[in-house]
Amino acid sequence: MRKYKWLAILCLTGHIANAQAGHYEIKGTLTSMDNATKIYVTPLSMTGRGFVYKEIIDSAAVVDGHFQLTGTIDYPKYVQLTLVTAGAAAESGAPDRRNILRMFLTPGETKILGDSIFSRSQVAGSALNEEYKMLITMSGHYDSILRPLHEHYYKALYQADIPVMKLYNDSLNIIKPQRMQAFAGFVSAHNNSPAAILAASMLTEPGNIDTLFSPALANSPDGLAYSKNQETHRPNIKTGEKVPDFTLTGADGKKVSLSGYAGKYVLIDFWASWCGPCRNEMTFMKKLYAMIKGSSFQLLAVSVDTKKEDWMKAISEEQISSWTNISDLKGMKGTVPALYGVQSIPHNFLVGPDGRLLAENVHGTTLLDLLAKYLPVNDK
């Protein structure tokens, strides 16, 4: 019943009309914050793959627990307010998460009421921020369910405990679609609101921007930036397409080409010595390889390291010389990551005997189950 509760709330919430450019005024009152000295406002770009911090656009002193920010904006902006306390500086590195507050900067008056933890301040006076609050509450609801499931799953992954991995993966596969359904419902109910762009960025398959957002939102600065980002991160290779061939140098100094494994199932796995999540997968990957390996399967581990000594050391430490390790030692700027559209790791591609892509970026028991569809598995 809980998953339908969120959709019902979304349907009851009104549609936000386009906010116009204008003058903004933020009045803040902070209680139990005697050491607060200044507030900085930093715009955040809603790109769909993380938010990009930009220049400070406004600031104000905090005097006797009060601050006031005023100015003009061309359109509503997603911003971060950073509270600086006595003895700290805005440029001193990442701020304490308790001292940051994210909201939308909109024309008109907005009031902020905070206590000793600035991040949980109440924001009032803007319909857009009410929608944003609803989105964050909904996201927090699902995160509170998913977080412990992920923790248990990854603990089992590190130990290559496949039965426990399957148990938690099954639970994750129930909750994740519900979460996506809730975000999709938010976008549909608020397709004229900038908050919908944030919700769309949380969707694994957001779809066409023309069907996601109203024409006005799609053509707004944030809407256009979102669309450009989606184009930039569109997969280079679609499932069922032929994957491009490449040749890299193996750990033994010999040249290795993907085409040399024609007729086999090949898992192309991008990783690096400095990538913690990649190395955390290694115990499981060794177990998977032992279960699947044979004349019809090959694992090509493409390292995006830049220093050979780091690469060799990681291969030795992880004891992964049983499969083929290759690299051009050019890091993420190498030709193969660009060829395959890899922008973060771990990232993998499962290629069929005909050289066509079967799946991209599948891990853990999902990968094992997929391989079991095509290859015999020795689970003893």
Q: Are 356 and 240 in contact (CB under 8 A)?
A: yes
Residue 251 per-residue DSSP state: T
- Cα 291 from Cα 375, distance rounded (Å): 10
CB-based burial label for 269 (10 Å; 0-12, 13-18, 19+): buried
Residue 238 pLDDT exceeds 60: yes
pTM of the entire predicted model = 0.79
Residue 19 pLDDT exceeds 70: no
User: What's the token pair of residue 295?
Assistant: 């004349």
How much is the average pLDDT of 346-375? 94
What pLDDT does residue 8 have? Answer: 41
**Fold (topology level) of 18-124:** Immunoglobulin-like (2.60.40)
- Is pLDDT larger for residue 48 or for residue 345? 345
Residue 120 per-residue DSSP state: G
Residue 45 pLDDT exceeds 50: yes
Residue 88 pLDDT exceeds 80: no
Quote the strand ranges of the chain, DSSP E: 22-30, 36-46, 51-53, 58-61, 66-73, 77-85, 100-105, 108-114, 122-124, 247-250, 255-257, 265-271, 297-303, 324-327, 347-351, 357-360
Query: Cα torsion for 278, 279, 284, 289, to the nearest 10°?
Result: 80
What pLDDT does residue 222 have? Answer: 86
Q: What CATH architecture is 247-374?
A: 3-Layer(aba) Sandwich (3.40)
- Cα 230 from Cα 313, distance rounded (Å): 37
Residue 3 pLDDT exceeds 50: no
Name which of 233-242, 255-264, 301-310 the model is least confident about.
233-242
Q: Are 50 and 134 in contact (CB under 8 A)?
A: no
Task: Please name every residue paired with 350 in a beta bridge, in sequence order, or none if there are none.
Answer: 267, 359
Query: Cα torsion for 306, 307, 310, 311, to the nearest 10°?
Result: 60
pLDDT band at 32 (very low <50, low <70, confident <90, very high): confident
How much is the average pLDDT of 248-272? 96
Residue 176 pLDDT exceeds 90: yes
Per-residue pLDDT tens over the stretch 119-171: 999 999 889 999 999 999 999 999 999 999 999 999 999 899 999 999 999 99
- Cα 165 from Cα 167, distance rounded (Å): 5
- Cα 243 from Cα 91, distance rounded (Å): 45
Q: Which of 2-11, 45-54, 346-355 has the highest mean pLDDT?
A: 346-355
What pLDDT does residue 232 have? Answer: 72
What pLDDT does residue 51 have? Answer: 56
Query: Cα torsion for 267, 270, 274, 276, to the nearest 10°?
Result: -60
pLDDT band at 14 (very low <50, low <70, confident <90, very high): very low
